[in-house]
Structure 1
């Protein structure tokens, strides 16, 4: 045993030193066969450092010579594992061949007098028979001999794999949350400093509170945050926040915020306290959701026996994620609240597919399969078994996440309880069907009364026929906008102008559909525009059948549409009919009806041209008057 390493312990080594495995291996190793030479020939500084390293509890190693011959203590041996036993005296470039270039460069720098520190340096190690990546904080310092020349390198190596892994998992979780909530509408993430009440947030937070994104990222002070809250809600919000901080419980509050321009929005904010490095709750992190639309909807449904809190109780939404092939791997706590089981009781419970309403399963499966195959946004309504035992309607949306090559990686989505609003739609539809039935009955009764009047007053037959024709046109328009129950298309809010025209003119066309043509770009119309339009074109068709192109076997009508961004123009051209040399000298009822319908009701204009080969009518409507739903 070289005296140079044992003299400090006396003539006999203490028991603790004998039990030091790496000291024993170092003393037993024949260094004379290496480039370092025998221990007794090592520079004094190298021997002292070797004695210090082998007796230290910190993970320390020595890389001797430019070859970096390895000498390390028991702590390093425990970190690297049994795979690397027997590495003493071997070059570090052989022991850790995967990082040979890194160590070669670093040793060379140390022999040039430089020191290096690396934080979270990844290294490939063989552990449990596998090659895996581990992370270390590495500090390299040159060991100098009595002449000041480097003779080795001292290496401190503290493993940080657990910390790096935890940080990466945190970043992945943050990314998953950020993408998931982006599917649910206007949502912001915030971080409140409990001591100062200064709050930082993302772009969604900045948009909701009406501050600049860079200000939100840097931190919004207490005064500005408080001033953004509606004056009537400010006290409640602060009391709720202070109570959550004092009792160390979850913060949840619904209130109004006022933007700098005076716009008021309803929000739902929720958050939880988090501990800092000191172990105390120093921050509260949470989300804020813009629920203005839900609040307005709730107010509109107040007369339909839906209370304000019925809708807000569903917030925040269920957040979920899944793999690229559609396997769900995460659901938020709201999911377990919805189905009524604890998070730790999922074993043996039904899957989300099994909880679907039997009538919806095939449709939902087809929609989900299409999204998985194409990557298109998943957006579907379906019924899910609630903890109450009833099936409730959910609106489920999901967005795909892709890698840099465009390949689908994951799905992130939300599920919103829309059961109450769905029932309200069904109730309104029931009322609308009843009204539709009664209106059609009125048309029938009035038509019958006109027919009875014609029999009693034959002299009024012509007038009665015209009146009944206009009534039938209105009936056709009503049927077009509101088909019967079997069509199940009452959800539509705008309709094709040309299809309404085809329906009105179909009785005047021949069996081959050759006498009347409609061409050009179509336009959309709503229910309010359909009635005056039906009267206008019924009047044109009736006049043509009496006096114009449709009164002769060879006459025809061409209806041509043209559009601008603000208006739609229709040209009604009759050819081959009875030619009228000039316009009539007075305006009849039909002309007054056209004026009322086109100009007064639809803010449009029309012009008639009496031409040698037939009459031509030009009509123009503003688009916004035809389809107010747009």
Structure 2
């Protein structure tokens, strides 16, 4: 029965998805299961007899001294989250549990170590944090934009009914623009979403124009937008419009915005020119979450964006490969 139990245990350990390793108190690997091979990429023959620090990034080497010290005192280490290095050089986030191994006399002679890949959990946590930060960023911007739209409606209307009607129209346009920045959520499969760049610009900028339509002008060519590229471009344009409404030309009664689209070889360019815009108090822009969103959007479509301040306002030059505007970025 004892032999049968040992065989069962060996089979369970061998087939376990977690890495299960034993080592001496000197940190030398004694056993190495199939889960360890799958997680770290090394075979048992490559690891047995080698120091466990084979798996440690250089900046994590001090962890082993602490682990061995605690083991010698009989301590068990539960769910210690750290980073280890695979055979292919890639780092992997793991949760490690280390227990002392005793001989028949009760003397600690080594340790068993169980390591579980928590990379997906870590990535999910990062994505959740990013989404929460984006939600907070959007909500704060929404309050600022609403205040700006109230002021804009008040300048262009007389009487309570006219003001209410104008403001309601602007808020509906703002809601539509907001939907366009999140097509994956509003319309299902991103591959099915499509529009054109001019249509997207008109929708996003509509809440900020005046009753005559002369405050904002959009000129030049047009280009189709679809898939994940639509999300990236919508996020970027929404961020530019928000900044203009909060701090730039669209925050001022005499501010003007001109957007010009053009084709240059295999690239589409956009010149975003704000006139009578507020100049920044400091030469460098303060980095915030909006900057993080902007960089992510640009990276997603392989685009570039530069800002330059003129004496009478701001010019933003944007360029993107045409083929990236209709591709689905995974």
TM-score by length of 1: 0.29
Pick aligned residue for 2:159 from 294, 297, 300? 300
Q: 2:28 aligned with 1:68, yes or no? A: yes
For residue 173 of structure 2, the aligned residue among 311, 314, 321 is: 314
Residues 82-126 of structure 1: CA distance to partner in whole angstroms, max 9, x if unpaired? 578621221102343534321232023201211212443223334
Flag structure 1 segments of 5+ consecutive residues without an equivalent. Answer: 1-5, 18-48, 188-288, 321-330, 362-367, 386-394, 413-630
CA distance in 2, matches of 1:313, 1:291: 15
Secondary structure, in 3 states, of the residue corresponding to 1:357? Answer: strand
Q: Is the 1:69–1:90 Cα contact (8 Å) retained in structure 2?
A: yes
Question: What's the counterpart of residue 183 of structure 1?
Answer: 141
CA distance in 2, matches of 1:307, 1:348: 26
> Distance between the aligned counterparts of 1:358 and 1:123, measured in 2?
54
Q: How does 1:217-296 map to 2 (within 5 A)?
A: 293=150
Is the counterpart of residue 333 in structure 1 residue 328 in structure 2?
no
**CA radius of gyration, larger in:** 1
User: What SS is found at the alignment partner of 1:67?
Assistant: coil
> For residues 146 and 115 of structure 1, what CA distance do their matches in structure 2 show?
19
Q: Match of 1:402?
A: 287
Structure 1 SS opposite 2:219? coil
Kindly provide the CA deviation profile for residues 352-386 of structure 1, in whole angstroms up to 9, marking residues without a partner as x. 89876218x9xxxxxx9xx9xxxx9544454789x
Q: 1:169 to 1:63 in 2, by over 3 A?
A: same
Matched, 1:358 2:219: yes
What's the offset of the Cα at 1:319?
5.3
SS at match of 1:114: coil
User: In the alignment, is the contact (CA less than 8 A) between 1:401 and 1:409 conserved in 2?
Assistant: no
**Counting helix residues as a fraction of each chain, which structure ranks higher?**
2
Between the aligned partners of 1:411 and 1:68, the Cα distance in structure 2 is: 48
Distance 1:81 1:135 in 2: 14
Change (3 A) 1:352 1:83: farther
Return the alpha-carbon distance in structure 1 between the equivalents of residues 30 and 198 of structure 2. 56
Q: 2:21 touches 2:31 (CA, 8 Å); kept in 1?
A: yes
Once residues 113 and 163 of structure 1 are traced to their aligned partners in structure 2, the CA distance between those partners, rounded to angstroms, is: 30
Secondary structure, in 3 states, of the residue corresponding to 2:93? strand
CA distance 1:319–1:104, change in 2 (3 Å): farther
Cα drift, residue 179 of structure 1: 2.8
Name the structure 2 match of 1:122. Answer: 83
Find out whether 1:112 has 2:73 as its counterpart.
yes
Is contact 1:125-1:134 (8 Å) kept? yes
CA distance in 1, matches of 2:53, 2:185: 54
Give the 3 Å change call, closer, same or farther, for CA 53–143 of structure 1 in structure 2: farther
TM-aligned CA deviation for residue 76 of structure 1: 2.1
For 1:477-492, list aligned pairs within 5 A: none
The offset of 1:335, in angstroms, is: 12
Q: 1:72 to 1:351 in 2, by over 3 A?
A: farther
2:113 counterpart (143, 150, 155): 155
Match of 2:3 in 1: 8
Q: 1:312 to 1:350 in 2, by over 3 A?
A: closer
1:344 aligns with 2:191: yes
Query: How much has 1:64 moved relative to structure 2?
Result: 2.3
Question: Does 2:48 correspond to 1:88?
Answer: yes
Q: SS at 1:185's partner residue? A: helix
Take 1:318 and 1:85, find their aligned partners in 2: how far apart are those partners?
Answer: 60
Q: Deviations over 1:136-180 (max 9, x none)?
A: 111111011122211111112111110111111211222233234
Q: Any conservation in 2 of the 1:357–1:383 contact (CA below 8 Å)?
A: yes
d(CA) in 2 for partners of 1:94 and 1:172?
Answer: 34
CA deviations 1:260-298 (Å, max 9, x no partner) are xxxxxxxxxxxxxxxxxxxxxxxxxxxxx7799479858
Once the two structures are superposed, residues 509-563 of structure 1 have per-residue CA deviations (whole angstroms, 9 ceiling, x without a partner) of xxxxxxxxxxxxxxxxxxxxxxxxxxxxxxxxxxxxxxxxxxxxxxxxxxxxxxx
Cα distance change of structure 1 residues 123 and 59 upon mapping to structure 2, 3 Å threshold: closer
- Listed as ranges, the matches of 1:566-605 within 5 Å are none
Higher relative contact order (CA 8 A, sep 6+): 2
User: Taking structure 1 as reference, are residues 54 and 64 closer, same or farther at Cα in structure 2, changes over 3 Å only?
Assistant: farther
What CA distance in whole angstroms lies between the structure 2 residues aligned with 1:332 and 1:304? 27
Match of 2:300 in 1: none
Q: CA RMSD in A?
A: 5.1
| Residue aligned with 2:91, SS | strand
CA distance in 2, matches of 1:9, 1:293: 79
Go from structure 1 to structure 2 and tell me whether the alpha carbon gap of 1:144 and 1:379 turns closer, same or farther (over 3 Å shift).
farther
